[in-house]
Amino acid sequence: MYVSHQAPRWTGLALSLLVFAAVVPAPASAQLDPGTPAGPAPALVGPNCPLTRIGTQLVRCGDLTGAGVAAAIWIPES
């Protein structure tokens, strides 16, 4: 006697629904962390730490800055 099984059809449908749910993007949301200060740290700004350059690297308060971008020639060299 021949018995028809519906499991492969339902398995394919469930698998396709899972793939569709994973592909469709969900809306994103962001929040401001209340523990972070609103502005830059006071120790890094002002006359105590001027922006200078050493060769082609930007330096502020002894720390390299500028993400490796070559410094402009008009920035004073220390």
pLDDT in tens, 21-78: 877 777 778 877 677 566 555 555 556 788 888 888 888 888 888 787 888 888 888 7
Alpha-carbon separation of residue 9 from 6, 19, 26, 64 (angstroms): 6, 16, 28, 61
- Give the pLDDT confidence score for residue 48 in this predicted structure: 77
8 A C-beta contact, residue 57 and residue 71: yes
**Residue 64 and residue 6: Cα distance in Å, rounded?**
66
pLDDT band with cut points at 50, 70 and 90 for residue 2: low
* Res 14 pLDDT > 60: yes
The SS3 call for residue 44 is: helix
pTM of full prediction above 0.85: no
